[in-house]
Amino acid sequence: MSKQRQRDRALREAERALREAERAQRVAAEQSARAQRLKKSARAVKRRDTWRGVRLWRHGPGFHRDKERWAALVTVVLVVLVSTYLLTGSVGAVVAVALICAIAAPALGAFVFDRRSR
């Protein structure tokens, strides 16, 4: 009977060791999957933050609020250029007006986007 108990005990210990090895393997697989997810999400966050920095550098935070005003300003400038061409028929006059608009752009921008007067 004691030899039977020893064999049963050895069998149970072998089964327990097998379960522990399987558990350790499963934990290692879960940890590697978790590490991969963290690495992937860190890459996504970095990519998002990089793109956000590029967007803010290009336009600034007020750009989205002032889209309609920018569109109105560009429309006015284009109307002035087209009307200059239609009235004079001269490309030189259109270039001159375009240069004047480019030089006066800060003043036009201050006039259109000035928030102190509103």
Whole-number Å distance between alpha carbons of 85 and 27: 76
Q: Are 112 and 65 in contact (CB under 8 A)?
A: no
pLDDT of residue 42: 86
Residues 3 and 54 in one domain: yes
> Is the domain of 10 the same as that of 27?
yes
Query: How confident is the model over 24-51, as a mean pLDDT?
Result: 88
Residues 38 and 70 reside in one and the same domain = no
Element (H, E) at 86: helix 67-88
Range of the domain at 17: 1-60
Short-list 115, 85, 80, CA closest to 101: 80
* Residue corresponding to tokens 């550098």: 57
Residue 85 lies in a domain: yes
Give pTM, 2 decimals: 0.43
**Contact yes or no for 116/103 (Cβ under 8 A):** no
Q: Given a cut of 60, is residue 73 above it in pLDDT? A: yes
For residues 80 and 99, membership in a common domain is answered with yes
